[in-house]
Amino acid sequence: MLLVLEQGLNGLQYGVMLFLMAAGLTLVFGIMNLVNLAHGSLYMVGAYLATAFARWTGSFVLGALLALPATLLVGVVVEVIALRTLYERDHLDQVLATFGLILFFNELVAIVWGRAAIYTSLPPSLSGSFVLLPGLRYPTYRALVILVGVAAAVFLYVLVTSTRLGMLIRAGASNRTMVAALGVNIRRLYTLVFGLGAALAGLAGLMAGPIYAVQPGMGEQILIQVFVVIVIGGIGSIRGALVGAILVGMVDTLGRAFLRPLLSTMVSPNAADAAGPALASILIYVLMAAVLFFRPQGLFPARG
Amino acid sequence: MRTMTRAVLVGLLATLAAVPPASAETVRIGFITSLSGPAGIIGKHMKDSVELALDHLGRRVGGLDVEVIYGDDQQKPDVGKQVADEMLKKHKVHFVSGIIWSNVMLAVAPVVTRERVFMIGTNAGPHQLAGKDCSEYFFTTSWQNDQTPEAMGKYMTDQGLTDVHIMAPNYAAGKDMLSGFKRYFRGRIVAEVYTQVNQPDYQAEISQIRAANPKAVFVFYPGAMGIQFVKQYAQAGLREQIPLYSVYTIDEVTLPALKEAALGIWETRYWSPDLSNEANTKYVSDFRKKYGYTPAFYGAQSYDGVMLIDAAVRAVKGDLANKAGMIAAMRKADYKSTRGPYKYNLNHFPIENFYLLKTVRTPEGEFAMQIQKTVFENHKDAYAKDCGMQW
């Protein structure tokens, strides 16, 4: 039972990480109608900048605090220089251009920091594990990731539901033309939204740094799951991103942990060994296909 | 109209004639590896080693000029096959070499050997190519996948270990690695787990390990997968509780990113930078001098690959049409290998030593893999008997 709880926490932790990525991607897609494949690159930039700043300042927390605005800045610069011209183009052009950005960022990072994965570590206070319940030890850093992810979700919720910017974001997601017609500076809104999305991706990246391999191309590994999340959640909807991310995180983690033991109670252990991992790896795509079949707009469509 | 047709035909002929005929004076080697994506760093170790080998040979292979065409397989079998096709048809290469991943190798090797072009593998050693699908045109300077985990299985059995949890990514080599381990491990295996290739997060699997509480864990996680697994294993606090044994997981590619997280972990391998012989000392020290980092086994094998090709071309005095002569020459493995002298088995896989390695902190404060002892001497792979090649 404790193991199920622990795996549930693991699923939640993976889910909030996906949420931070998905929130930015879904906002940019929903409001700006821009397919941004380079979202994973901002995640990578966040991880690299946090590592570099942490080394420079000698403090993990300071590094993270500096990396966040820095990634936001990178996002704003990318929006102003490269993406502005793409809003009126069709999705294929956007896919090509943002794919180009992926190659650009991967090479840039390889030139600055080298092709090898760079060394990342945690301060001793975060690197151990603590007793969550009698008989259940949980890694401190993973628990921190959950807390930060939940805090970010609450922050976004407040931002979207109770601020003027949030109102504009919601309005932009529902009807962009009307928002522009009402005299809102849609350009500035776009830049802000993109910067916000970049900062969220950066936050996911800087938290991923100490756990994953920080190297060129790390963003593309998580990007596919993030797209699955926003398709499940409904494009343009933050609530959808949250629900989709937790769902994908849970299904993926619990599938990896329990599908094989579950199968071996039904079929022979050898067949379970062969089928278990294969099934676990396609579970989230099966989930996506099911959602698309029953609710093609996703679980929480932004536009009616 | 007719004159126009003729003019076009003449023009066509002229362009055809302008394409230089495939010259016999240049050896063309197509080197396929992963140059982009998460495995790009492994490709860099290999490419840098090929270039160093060419430097050592004075930019000539077997006395002929040499042209190396590098191809990026992006760690995908279909892309690897396309790249190989292009090398065969467009560049008319005499040798295809490289290849990190067993699934890529299984897609590429048949395409190459079918054209009676040499495939000189410098890493992946899937069991199919050592057994029933072996070929006169296929040689490798590395190992058959099962051999290295066999050495670890032997060592862990000798230590009297039992109740071991074993893990690998779910692809051709992952399965070979675990079946090799099981061939020599006599203790009890409590769980055999396969994960997705390039999976970044192992927390779910690590929680399962903690709950099952085995006596030891054996894994195969090459490249970035190894960095992530070992980091997360250490962060979960399991490294002190349940010792970790691995193959192809802690090496000179992953060690710089892992440092103290890898301390004390055991590996088995056929080669290490501290292996003492003349060719290896020269390779490692010149590599460090030229590139400023320490090469991994991926590099040593690629360096050896060029040296093997050099020996073959030299033996036939540059007559690249004499394929039988080159096969006979390569079977002798008559070159200065970085692992020291070795022989080829009937299936063209090396019969070689395997050592036990441990991650240690050197007196200079660096982290390094060091050879502890020899586990197997002149170890043969398990599949040669299915090959049927006689010589």
The CATH number of residue B365's host domain is 3.40.50.2300
- Say if the Cβ atoms of A256 and B204 lie within 8 Å: yes
> For residue B348, is it within any domain?
no
d(CA A213, nearest CA chain B) in Å: 6
User: Which residues of chain A have a CB within 8 Å of the CB of B170?
Assistant: 277-278, 281
Quote the pLDDT of residue B235.
Answer: 87
Quote the pLDDT of residue B3.
Answer: 52
Residue B373 belongs to domain spanning: 147-269+355-379
pLDDT level of residue B18 (50, 70, 90 thresholds): very low
Q: Averaged over B151-178, what is the pLDDT? A: 94
> For residue B12, is it within any domain?
no
Q: What is the pLDDT of residues A43-72, one digit of tens each?
A: 999 999 999 999 999 899 999 999 999 999
- Say if the Cβ atoms of A128 and B192 lie within 8 Å: no
3-state secondary structure chain A: CHHHHHHHHHHHHHHHHHHHHHHHHHHHHHHHCCCCCCHHHHHHHHHHHHHHHHHHHCCHHHHHHHHHHHHHHHHHHHHHHHHHHHCCCCHHHHHHHHHHHHHHHHHHHHHHHCCCCECCCCCHHHHCEEEEECCEEEEHHHHHHHHHHHHHHHHHHHHHHHCHHHHHHHHHHHCHHHHHHCCCCHHHHHHHHHHHHHHHHHHHHHHHCCCCCECCCHHHHHHHHHHHHHHHHCCCCHHHHHHHHHHHHHHHHHHHHHHHHHHHCCCCHHHHHHHHHHHHHHHHHHHHHHHHHHCCCCCCCCCC
Do B279 and B261 belong together in one domain? no
- Say if the Cβ atoms of B207 and A260 lie within 8 Å: no
Quote the pLDDT of residue B21.
Answer: 43
pLDDT level of residue A259 (50, 70, 90 thresholds): confident
Domains of chain A: 9-117+140-294 (1.10.3470)
Do B172 and B244 belong together in one domain? yes
Q: What is the pTM assigned to this prediction?
A: 0.88
User: Which residues of chain A have a CB within 8 Å of the CB of B293?
Assistant: 116
Do B126 and B99 belong together in one domain? yes
Q: What is the pLDDT of residues A65-94, one digit of tens each?
A: 999 999 999 999 999 998 888 888 888 999
- Say if the Cβ atoms of B38 and A213 lie within 8 Å: yes
Whether chain A has a CB inside 8 Å of the CB on B44: the answer is yes
* B 208-237: CB under 8 A from A: 208, 210-211, 224, 227-228, 231-232, 234-237
Q: How many residues would you count in chain B?
A: 391
B182, B203, B260, B293, best to mutate vs chain A, most A CBs in 10 Å: B203
A223, A281, A285, best to mutate vs chain B, most B CBs in 10 Å: A281
Do B236 and B257 belong together in one domain? yes
Whether chain B has a CB inside 8 Å of the CB on A215: the answer is yes
Of the partner residues A117, A128, A210, the one whose CB lies closest to the CB of residue B41: A117
B166, B201, B205, B233, best to mutate vs chain A, most A CBs in 10 Å: B201
Do B171 and B300 belong together in one domain? no
**A135 CB-contact burial (10 Å; exposed 0-12 / middle 13-18 / buried 19+):** exposed
Q: What is the pLDDT of residues B245-295, one digit of tens each?
A: 999 999 999 999 999 899 989 999 999 999 999 999 999 999 999 999 999
> For residue B49, is it within any domain?
yes
Q: Mean of the per-residue pLDDT values for chain B?
A: 91
Q: What is the pLDDT of residues B177-230, one digit of tens each?
A: 999 999 999 999 998 999 988 888 899 999 999 888 999 999 999 999 999 999
Quote the pLDDT of residue B1.
Answer: 45
* A 257-276: CB under 8 A from B: 257, 260, 273, 276
Quote the pLDDT of residue A275.
Answer: 81
> For residue B14, is it within any domain?
no
Do B46 and B132 belong together in one domain? yes
Do B235 and B167 belong together in one domain? yes
- Say if the Cβ atoms of A257 and B236 lie within 8 Å: no
Residue A149 has pLDDT above 80, yes or no: yes
Q: Structurally, how many domains does chain B consist of?
A: 2
Q: Mean of the per-residue pLDDT values for chain A?
A: 89
Q: Averaged over B151-176, what is the pLDDT? A: 94
Do B369 and B259 belong together in one domain? yes
Residue A15 has pLDDT above 60, yes or no: yes
User: Which residues of chain B have a CB within 8 Å of the CB of A214?
Assistant: 257
Whether chain A has a CB inside 8 Å of the CB on B203: the answer is yes
Do B239 and B368 belong together in one domain? yes
Q: What is the pLDDT of residues B64-75, one digit of tens each?
A: 999 999 999 999
- Residue of chain A minimizing CA distance to B260: A121
d(CA A289, nearest CA chain B) in Å: 20
What ipTM was assigned to the predicted interfaces of this complex?
A: 0.88
Of the partner residues B38, B205, B257, the one whose CB lies closest to the CB of residue A256: B205
Do B243 and B265 belong together in one domain? yes
Whether chain B has a CB inside 8 Å of the CB on A279: the answer is no
